[in-house]
Structure 1
Amino acid sequence: MAQLIFASSNIATYIHLTFMSLITVCLCFFLCFIVVVFSIFFTSPQLRENARYILFVYMLVNDTFFLLSGFTVLVGAIYFLYIPVPVCYILNAVSFLTFRVTPTTLAAMALEKYIAICYPLRHKDLCTTQRANVAFILICTTQIIPNAADLGLMASSFRTTFNISIICRKENLFVNPLQNVLRSLSFALCYVLVAIIILFTYIKISMVAHRVSSQSSNASKARRTILLHTFQLLLCTMSLLSTFTDALPASQAMFLPGFNFLVFSCVPRFLSPVIYGIRDEYLRGLIKKSLTRQFKN
């Protein structure tokens, strides 16, 4: 019996190390890409004056905070690290906030594509840099409201909770049943609204693409971009299934925390560089020039 327990423990250790290694490698590549994009963005006036790229950079920053905070929480949960409640709550609050900001920003980017294709003559007037900045500020402001309500519920229930250290898991921060209800409602409202916007923009852009015979038209490319946004949203939505898998016994779900974070949290964020960093011809050209210059140096 002791040998079986020891073997099971070794298997769990290897599984955790495998997923943690994969996540770490992916994060390193993601962070390297962000450094390249930032260096290009701040040295290219054309990018800084384009609402599409402004929203893209904002989303990359948001995804960076999400991945780093989520990775920290994952390490603490897997290795049973006790963290002070205020620190644990801040990490979870950042992860909770940035998790919802990403799909909402996707919706804003889909609307920008919709305006560019369906109202090209008004695109420059409607999609300005100022409006892109204001749009992202409004997105973050509206998404902070559930966090503030969650903190109020937690503080009003058990004020002494903030004086202890716990294993940093989100379920350990649910000291009031209303917290879970609030989070579920905020997720549902966020994703339903985003899904409606993405569906609306896809239908409208598809109608324009249908009227244009050339498959290489901007409308056809925009339609494929919206489809990729839909796939991103689907993966983000599937990550909510981790709420049910986290409740499984550790013996049955030893690999699930790392698997859930890698597949349903990391992959949707790693798709963003593919969509706007590789498929976008203009940005792809700038990235190639930047990398070539760095390798020569």
Structure 2
Amino acid sequence: MSNGSQSQMNIAVGVGFLERVMLCTVFTSPCCMLVFINATMLFTLRSKSVFRETSRYILLYNLLFADTVLLVQGQLMYIMATCRITMSYPVCGVLTMLANLTTVISPLTLVVMCLERYVAVCYPLRHATIITVRNTGLAITVIWTVSSLSILTRVLLLLNFPFEDLQSLQMKRFCGKESMLIDPMSDLYDRSFTSLLFASAGVAVICSYIGVMVAARSASTDKASAHKARNTLLLHLAQLGLSLSSTIYNPILVAIFKVLDRIIFARVQIVLYLLIIIFPRCLSCLIYGIRDQTIRPILMYNLCCQRTRSISVSVIPAKAKISTCITSWTNIILNKMC
């Protein structure tokens, strides 16, 4: 998300106050809505024991948590850039490292989720022994460890820069990922690690998809389960591709900025921001919040009337769910009137 913060200063600088307010509203509104939905989804995943004790929902929680942190942190940096607030190098470094941490966690979690679907389809009899809560927790620990080691390497590379030669630690530019790539080695490491990360993740997802496709042709495989897993893997591959596109967000904007007028550039950036930065962060909710028959009724209930009464984990038809909400609210009103 910090990829967008650096280039968003092109809008924050050089436009009037009213334009900045309008553009900030357009940028912030979908992000706030998505953060609210993600937060509700996180609450939903912690509200029932079936979600806390199922591996794929635990992985989904980890993915949503990383995406939500990335959205909130990136939006705060954008608002600060819009308000023309600069930071010191240490503060910007902490925010940038946080963004890098969550950026690495997302594709690695997607890989583990794809492998879980692969095992569920190709080895259904061994799925319960391989994909356990303990092994899932171990996988999440490995994900966070790899991400933390990447951040530690970036910090060590930054320490080689002679900050004592600077007149002030206060930044003259707005905080962003590119602002902290002040050493050639840091830039080289960032490019190499990002390329290796997404290439490895892409190979793992594609291999899982091929394995599911081969297993789907077997007579002993559940066709419906294999078909659903195949579609899920395709969506994860698209999600991974969109996450990768966020790494080239700034170069695209720099190229467009050279050939377009400032106002047209601002409008184009809004579209790119929504498609490249915001949209990949909402795919998890779309994939699981809408397609998953276990999560969907509880998520919709929490979004609509989560304070009225508790519901079971079983799937409830839409009409029955709405009727339950209306009845609950009616009972509350009548009780207060009495």
TM-score after normalising by structure 2: 0.77
Give me the whole-angstrom Cα distance separating, in 2, the residues matched to 1:175 and 1:288.
46
Give me the whole-angstrom Cα distance separating, in 2, the residues matched to 1:236 and 1:205.
23
Displaced runs of 4 or more, over 6 A: 213-216
Given residue 124 of structure 2, which amino acid in structure 1 is its aligned partner?
A: P
Given residue 285 of structure 1, which amino acid in structure 2 is its aligned partner?
A: P
**Range with greater deviation from structure 2 (230-239 or 256-265):** 256-265
Report the CA distance between 1:203 and its aligned residue.
Answer: 0.6
Partner of 1:9: helix, strand, or coil?
coil
Give me the whole-angstrom Cα distance separating, in 1, the residues matched to 2:139 and 2:222.
32
Q: Is the 8 A contact 2:42 2:64 kept in 1?
A: no
Give me the whole-angstrom Cα distance separating, in 1, the residues matched to 2:37 and 2:130.
30
| Shift in alpha-carbon separation, 1:78–1:273, aligned structure 2, 3 A | same
Corresponding residue number in structure 2 for 1:263 = 275
Corresponding residue number in structure 2 for 1:242 = 249
Partner of 1:157: helix, strand, or coil?
coil
Task: Say what the alpha-carbon RMSD is for the aligned residues.
Answer: 2.6
Q: Is the 8 A contact 1:69 1:92 kept in 2?
A: no
Give me the whole-angstrom Cα distance separating, in 2, the residues matched to 1:227 and 1:60.
18
Report the CA distance between 1:44 and its aligned residue.
Answer: 1.2
Report the CA distance between 1:91 and its aligned residue.
Answer: 1.2
Superposed, 1:1-297 pairs within 5 Å as 9-10=15-16, 14=19, 17-160=21-164, 163-166=169-172, 167-211=174-218, 217-248=224-255, 249=257, 251=261, 253-255=265-267, 258-290=270-302, 291-294=304-307, 296-297=328-329
Give me the whole-angstrom Cα distance separating, in 1, the residues matched to 2:179 and 2:234.
37
- 1:108-148 CA distance string (max 9 Å, x none): 10000001111111111111112112211211211222322
Gaps of 5+ in 1: 1-7
Corresponding residue number in structure 2 for 1:4 = none
**Range with greater deviation from structure 2 (226-235 or 243-252):** 243-252
Report the CA distance between 1:238 and its aligned residue.
Answer: 1.5
Given residue 35 of structure 1, which amino acid in structure 2 is its aligned partner?
A: A
Q: Is the 8 A contact 2:110 2:236 kept in 1?
A: yes
Corresponding residue number in structure 1 for 2:3 = none
Q: Is the 8 A contact 2:215 2:221 kept in 1?
A: no
Give me the whole-angstrom Cα distance separating, in 2, the residues matched to 1:202 and 1:48.
26
Q: Is the 8 A contact 1:245 1:256 kept in 2?
A: no
Corresponding residue number in structure 2 for 1:5 = none
Partner of 1:165: helix, strand, or coil?
coil
Gaps of 5+ in 2: 1-13, 308-324, 330-338
Partner of 1:42: helix, strand, or coil?
helix
Partner of 1:71: helix, strand, or coil?
helix
Q: Is the 8 A contact 1:107 1:198 kept in 2?
A: yes
Give me the whole-angstrom Cα distance separating, in 1, the residues matched to 2:26 and 2:115.
34
**Range with greater deviation from structure 2 (92-101 or 196-205):** 92-101
Give me the whole-angstrom Cα distance separating, in 1, the residues matched to 2:104 and 2:219.
35
Given residue 113 of structure 2, which amino acid in structure 1 is its aligned partner?
A: M
Corresponding residue number in structure 1 for 2:312 = none
Q: Is the 8 A contact 1:41 1:48 kept in 2?
A: yes
Q: Is the 8 A contact 1:70 1:92 kept in 2?
A: no
Give me the whole-angstrom Cα distance separating, in 2, the residues matched to 1:206 and 1:126.
21
Larger relative helix fraction = 1
TM-score after normalising by structure 1: 0.87
Give me the whole-angstrom Cα distance separating, in 1, the residues matched to 2:274 and 2:228.
28
Give me the whole-angstrom Cα distance separating, in 1, the residues matched to 2:249 and 2:204.
25
Report the CA distance between 1:80 and its aligned residue.
Answer: 3.2
Aligned length: 288
| Shift in alpha-carbon separation, 1:293–1:69, aligned structure 2, 3 A | closer
